[in-house]
Structure 1
Amino acid sequence: MSDVQNAAQQAAIERATAEAGASTDFSQFAGSSLPFGNGQVLLDQSTGAPIAFVNEDNPNRHYLLDDSVSWHTSDQYWGSGYVVTTSGGSQWNTPQVYGITNGLEQQTFALCGAGLALDVTRSSGERLTERYEWRNVSNQPVTITGLGIQTPLNDRYPGARKALRECVHAHIFAGGDWSWVLAEPMDGRGARLGLIVTEGAINAYAIQSRNQVTYSDIRGHIVLQVTDYALNPDAFGGQPTITLEPGASYALTWELGWYADEDAFLAATIAPASFSSLSATVGGHIDIATNRAVTALDDGLTVERTVSGVRLTAEQAGTYQLQLVDGDHRAHTEVLFHKTLRDTVNDRARYILEHQVAYERVGALAGAIVATDTRTGQHVLDPSWDDWSDGSERIAMPVLLQRALNLGLLDESLREPAQRAADAWRTFAESALIDASGAVRRGSGLPESKFGGRIYDCPWIISFFTEHYLATKDAHDLDMAVNIADRAAEIGGEHFLSIEFAESSAALARVLKQTGRTEETQRLLDRVVVSADYFLGLGIDLPYHEVSYEQSITAPLVSLLLEAHRITGRAEYLDGAVERLDWLLAFSGPQPDSRLYGVAIRHWDGYWFGINRQFGDVFPHYWSTLTAEVLARLPQERRSARTDDLAKAIFEANMANYGADGSATCAYVFPSNVDGRSMHQADPLANDQDWHLNIWMRMIAEEGFSAL
């Protein structure tokens, strides 16, 4: 920008500041607040930025991050933000002009270098209305290519007790003019804080403050984006640019309110469309009831007009972006068409056998099944990075091969090679992953001191040996499974919420009972009950499990209590499970997007398991199916069409993680960018995602849950 242009811009900003006529004596606003509904927003005494949303019925709930969080500062206060234009970039945090009178707050920010000024107003009422208006104060057109607002919701895990009592899950739907955010208490109870866009659009969201620390308890700062064209122009179906002539402006308005439950919030969003489903098998269809015109943004999606809206079909599996248009109003979301479960299992089995068995290794190690870079076919093994080892979560793949064989799902051409691979994996596991005591280590490259170092792996290997016995009737498999279960108990398994502990114990106990091994059967079942008693006694004080609190702690807890109820028939276990089901379902949002609906929030797996080692929201992540598993295992009297539909939607959503050739991704990092790195893309590593298929198959075989 020339000196003349810069001077003209500065003069325009000064005129705007003078015209606002607001006091700049910040001290008089110390402790200011604006009431809305049965709560209020507290404002920073220096800048007027919202620093807390307080609900009278739930005063201990912290909906926003506060200064007690070391990585949260005034630079990320609510309403701060950034803009990128053809004139330059700018951030805003401290207003040049600030005033508050009669329930109305006004701020003006000079966005020097960007050619813009920003006016912000907040007004009280039943809902708090926030309006952001960016004005072109230069003497030339300005095109906005990046524009984001900080909304630092308190989505983090400071430990189970604190999380359940104070924190919220932030469910974000960045759907253009149909956009909203729901801040849901982590215990699933009490007032929800809902944000609904009423003017303008949110076309993406980003996460900041995420990759500076390698732990999994923080989600980061959430930034709602009008556009992220500058960093990721193709994200969320394509990002817009906004051109403002001199004197023109762009406005974004949203309303914040308190809602008793999810249904009340969704009703307030006044959705412009409703979907018969967000996922369907190839050859099926999705119906959308809407008055808007619907356009496919991706090739391969067919849109046909019907009496009440449109019908979507696709001949190829994949996710498809679509746009819903009414005049200047534009919304966007995505749907999924996928293969059947049987076809997907066969695709994965074929790919595993061709690309993920470590045939190049010597001896028993050649039976390992490992992570693979789908871009090159190269095996990814690193004994120094546990989540790229030849054990742990990779156990999903031999379990998939053996379970699919046992259920009769594999094509004839795959049956013999799949069984050979499962047999070879048994040899590998016994020689490299399990010691004589039954203790397990995460990978063959780790020292012997690591045996017994991770309880998580025990139920997964137990599942494999149980499935292998069903195929071979070799009693040695049961001996191995029992030995591993006994050793896991010795090293603390009853006080640890291992994923699939309840399910693998129940499955092994059934087989042991059928073979007359009654003493071992009872020992396994007794451990489930003892563990259930222990965790019931803890209440909300759940212990740390690699992450301080997360969905894959809560789901195994609910499953454990359900299994204890099945074993004993005692009501306290079912009552405890139902109470904690609220905690579990709070992780899952109702966004009308095939990757998001019902899918639990997880925001660290891309870093630990992906080849890009990238933190950020992963949607869908395969452990989200633990929620579906719990819903499928509810007693019949506690199930409903709603719980069954939600379970089905979660199972279907995870079909997005498989390629047409049977390749896969361990993590789709969903935000448009994370700490300035473009995301909204799949990590190329096929690693551990097959637990989704394993759980779905188990629910069909053991719970009668319907398949596609």
Structure 2
Amino acid sequence: MKTIHYSPLSGESKNFELQTNSENQIISIGNPHDQHHMDWVKPGAVWGKVHCKYDLDVKVTRRFTDAGDLEETMVFTNNTSFDIYTLSDGIGIYTPFPDYYTKASIGLTKCCNAHIWCGNTSSYIMGLRQGGEAPNLGLIVQHGGIQSYSIERGYDFKGREEEVSNNRGLIILHPDNFILHPGESYELVWKLTWFQDKADFQKRLLNTQDYIHVSSPAFVTIGNEPIEFRARFGGNLPKNPPLLLCNGERAEYEIQGSAVSVKYPVIQPGEYTFTITWGGAKTEAKFLATLPLCQIAKSRVSFIVNKQQCIDPKGHLNGAYLIYDNEEQAQYYSHLNDHNGGRERVGMGALIALYLQTHPDKKLHASLSKYVDYVTRELFNPDDGTVYNDVQRNNDQPRLYNYPWIGILFLEMYKLEKDSQYLNWYFKLMVHFYSLGGDKFYPIGLPMRESIKTFRQAGQTDLADKLLKMYKRHADFIEETGQNYPESEVAYEQSIVAPAARYLSDMYLMTDEEKYQQGAQLQLMGLDLFEGFQPDYHMNEVAIRHWDGYWFGKRRMLGDTFPHYWTTLSGLAFYDSELVIGTDQYTHKAQKSFRSILSLFRKDGSASNAMIYPMTVNGEVAHFYDPWANDQDWGLYYILKHNEF
């Protein structure tokens, strides 16, 4: 970059309170009508800072529009004697929305969930306050385009290492590639606008000239399902019809007023990228076509049994299902928490137990039996219900999250083998869980309603009543706590809110008490704020998460994970929501959430724990599926649990 100049702000607005530094860079953005006085610039960051690797002169201007929005224009000029070609992350513009986690009492009013869509000329960031209360802040591109984004974040922490999970980092937008001859300029313009909620933001997108809005009932299709979507043009329609390409080939469509409708047959599984060019606008939409669920499940459970089960009669791990490194084609174990022989990896056993209930297989069943022997020998004490963190009944770091996962395994084993011992173990496990303070904890996957139903069907009504009493005490705490969530391994996250919504829904459906219905409605509203509507199967109705690749992945990279399998927790909460709140407001989101994780599973049964979505993280190339199959099988478990396969 030769020079960069930030011009003073032009005009006045009653809708914005801005602070700038000595270089005319914005360091604070507020709304004077916001009772919480939220600053929409992350503390210590500079809004709109430009990074440029090329020999370009850059001028940044800002003005308030007649509508009261803040318009920002970045002009890149080639004042050299030679052509300049830009690529990928060669130019980056910092848009540091305050997307980080802290105490709920602060974060729900002072922090946001930033939903990013880099769709060329149809790009935006939808900043939703974590508590949902308006005003919310959006960024909408007006001219030029955005091709991708990167994340810049620190690995610093003051106490527990888990604190690195709380900070999503700085969002850096990368303009579309461009070519400038000597004397030419490229202009990128966006506006910052206040909005009420998701629906209001979508209206603003559709009212943006040349914005192409793509919606679909399913960005992940299964089996022979066709790809269907609708692309709607914002503003005045161009004279010429649009050009649609699918993976580079022309695609048919029907024009319906200011929109086009597409129904595209799936020939084979894989990614289908549609490029839409309409007038001066250009964007894309990404779909994934998968094999039928039964084939995905069969391949995956076979892979686990054949390649991920430890066969070592001399070792404590004998029978365990372990991490699999797809690069080295080898099992991996470490006593390090998220790489060990217990914890989230119990999901592999639960998946196989569920699968065998409808697809009997002697080899798979024999493997599962070895695994259950391993669990009861190394990870669970049948005498008192203790669940351990790792082999040798090791509890260097006791963890309440581990209890429901072993419990799910036992429930599925009971359904498979009808041995009441599994129900006895489940009950002991739950008693011990609650003796350790579980009723003031937000566990993941606790099968409240399902376990009560299973116990009653088994004739264990006395134990079912005792379980219900414990669950009710737990649900009462969640309902009374509302949105004042206690901090967990991550200070605040989707997998705190989703379980809260699910457990209150379960309790309402079991007791019909109105307080649980009202509590569930509040949690569902908060949960929906984590979900976006970007036209990309990686992101559409996928909850924002940005730390799992560091803890569970081989690359140990922090950064947005789109998708991550725990987004299915949102699907669980949304699944029965119509029975709870009486409307289908969230129902359609459930299957989108479940299906989104199917990209983590391959045709041969191999899998990845997460995709690190940004173009780069801290300058390192990202946008990859991590090579480790680790804990992702909970996602497949839940989609199979709620679909015929």
Cα offset for 1:319?
2.7
1:536 aligns with 2:479: yes
Q: In structure 2, what is the equivalent of residue 106 of structure 1?
A: none
1:323 pairs with one of 261, 275, 282: 275
In the alignment, which residue of structure 2 is the partner of 1:96? none
Q: Which residue of 345, 350, 360 maps to 1:399?
A: 350
- 1:185 matched to 2:136: no
Q: In the aligned structure 2, how far is the partner of 1:158 from the partner of 1:420?
A: 46
Preserved contact between residue 316 and residue 391 of structure 2 (Cα < 8 Å): no
Summarize deviations over 1:151-187 as a string: whole Å, max 9, x none: 0001011112211121110000001111011000111
1:122-172 deviations in whole A, cap 9, x for unaligned?
Answer: 334322111110111223322233111100001011112211121110000
Residue 60 in structure 1 maps to residue 1 in structure 2: no
Q: Structure 1's 541 and 83: CA in aligned 2 closer, same or farther, altered over 3 A? A: same
Specify the alignment match of 1:89 in structure 2: none
Structure 2 equivalent of residue 165 of structure 1:
109
The reply to whether residue 685 of structure 1 matches residue 628 of structure 2 is yes
CA deviations 1:478-505 (Å, max 9, x no partner) are: 221111111111111111010112x2x3
Partner of 1:268: 204
CA separation of 1:445/1:63 partners in 2, compared to 1, >3 Å: closer, same or farther?
A: farther
Question: What is the match of residue 116 of structure 1?
Answer: 57
Q: Which residue of 2 aligns with 1:476?
A: 421
Aligned amino acid, residue 525 of structure 1: L
1:569 equivalent in alignment to 2:492: no
Query: Any idea what SS the aligned residue of 2:367 has?
Result: helix
Query: Contact 2:538 / 2:596 at 8 angstroms: preserved in 1?
Result: yes
2:378 to 423, 432, 437: 432
Match of 2:180 among 244, 247, 250: 244
The residue aligned with 1:83 is 52
* Matched residue type, 1:255: K
Question: SS of 2:146's equivalent?
Answer: coil
SS class of match (2:51):
strand
| SS at 2:400 equivalent | coil
Cα deviation for residue 342 of structure 1 reads 2.0
- The alpha-carbon distance between structure 1 residues 257 and 512, as it changes in their structure 2 partners (threshold 3 A), is same
> Does the C-alpha gap of structure 1 residues 446 and 472 become closer, same or farther in structure 2, counting only changes over 3 Å?
closer
Tell me how far apart the structure 2 counterparts of residues 371 and 302 of structure 1 sit (CA, whole Å). 42
Pick aligned residue for 1:296 from 246, 271, 285: 246
Give TM-score scaled by structure 1 length. Answer: 0.83
1:285 aligns with 2:226: yes
Match of 2:389 in 1: 442
Tell me the distance in 2 between the aligned counterparts of 1:265 and 1:597.
16
Displacement of 1:48 in angstroms is 2.2
Partner of 2:25: 49
Match of 1:695 among 615, 638, 643: 638
CA distance in 2, matches of 1:47, 1:125: 26
Which whole-Å CA distance do the structure 2 matches of 1:449 and 1:151 have between them? Answer: 41
- Looking at structure 2, the residues matched to 402 and 545 of structure 1 have their Cα atoms a distance apart, in angstroms, of 30
* Residue type at the aligned position of 2:118: A
Cα distance, 1:403 vs structure 2: 0.9
Question: 1:541 deviation in Å?
Answer: 2.3
Q: Which among 376, 400, 409 is matched to residue 455 of structure 1?
A: 400
1:611-649 deviations in Å (ceiling 9; x for gaps): 111100000111111111111122526354452221111
| Distance across 1 between alignment mates of 2:534 and 2:12 | 28
Q: Which residue of 2 aligns with 1:5?
A: none
Deviations 1:446-495 (A, max 9, x none): 73555xx1110111111111111122222221221111111111111111
1:120 touches 1:132 (CA, 8 Å); kept in 2? yes
Q: 1:650 aligns with which of 583, 588, 593?
A: 593
Please report the TM-score for the alignment, with normalisation by the length of structure 2.
0.90
Structure-1 residue corresponding to 2:238: none
Query: For the structure 1 residues 66 and 646, does the alpha-carbon distance in structure 2 shift closer, same or farther, using more than 3 Å as the test?
Result: closer
Cα 1:119/1:474, change in 2 over 3 Å: closer
Structure 1 residue 418: deviation in Å? 1.9
How far did residue 323 of structure 1 move?
1.9
Cα distance, 1:522–1:637 mapped onto 2, change above 3 Å: closer
Counterpart-to-counterpart distance in 2, 1:422 and 1:33: 68
- The 10-residue stretch of structure 1 (617-626 or 140-149) with the greater mean CA deviation from structure 2: 140-149
Select which of 303, 307, 312 maps to 1:351.
303
The CA deviation at 1:421 is 1.8
User: Cα deviation per residue 1:490-536 (whole Å; 9 max; x = unaligned)?
Assistant: 111111010112x2x33222222233333321121111111121222
Report if aligned partners of 1:589, 1:599 keep a CA contact under 8 Å in 2: yes
**2-structure distance, mates of 1:515, 1:279:** 37
Q: Which residue of 1 aligns with 2:438?
A: 493
Q: 1:658 to 1:302 in 2, by over 3 A?
A: farther
Q: CA deviation at 1:565?
A: 1.5
- 2:196 counterpart of 1:256: no
- Aligned residues of 1:371 and 1:685 also touching (Cα < 8 A): yes
Cα distance 1:608–1:446, how it changes in 2: closer, same or farther (>3 A)? Answer: farther
> What does the per-residue CA deviation read over 1:258-310, in whole Å, with 9 as the maximum and x for residues that have no partner?
11221221122234253433221242212344452122347xx8834455454
**Identity percentage of aligned residues:** 27
1:673 aligned onto 2:613: no
**How many corresponding residue pairs?**
618
Structure 2 residue 626 is matched with structure 1 residue 626: no
The structural deviation recorded for 1:370 is 1.1
Deviates more, 1:321-330 or 1:173-182: 321-330
Deviations 1:340-395 (A, max 9, x none): 22222112111111111112453673211111012232111101x21111111001
2:576 and 2:246 mapped to 1: Cα distance? 37
Alignment gaps of 5+ in structure 2: 232-240
**Contact 1:323–1:330 under 8 Å retained in 2:** yes
Unaligned runs of at least 5 residues, structure 1: 1-8, 23-28, 86-113, 228-239, 701-706
Does structure 2 retain, via aligned residues, the 8 Å contact 1:33–1:42? Answer: no
CA contact (8 A) 1:402 1:464 kept: yes
1:387 is aligned to 2:346: no
Give how far 1:550 is off: 0.3
Verify: 1:378 aligned to 2:325, yes or no: no
CA distance in 2, matches of 1:437, 1:288: 54
Once the two structures are overlaid, the 10-residue window that deviates more, 308-317 or 243-252, is: 308-317
Q: Which region of structure 1 is more displaced relative to structure 2, 420-429 or 137-146?
A: 137-146
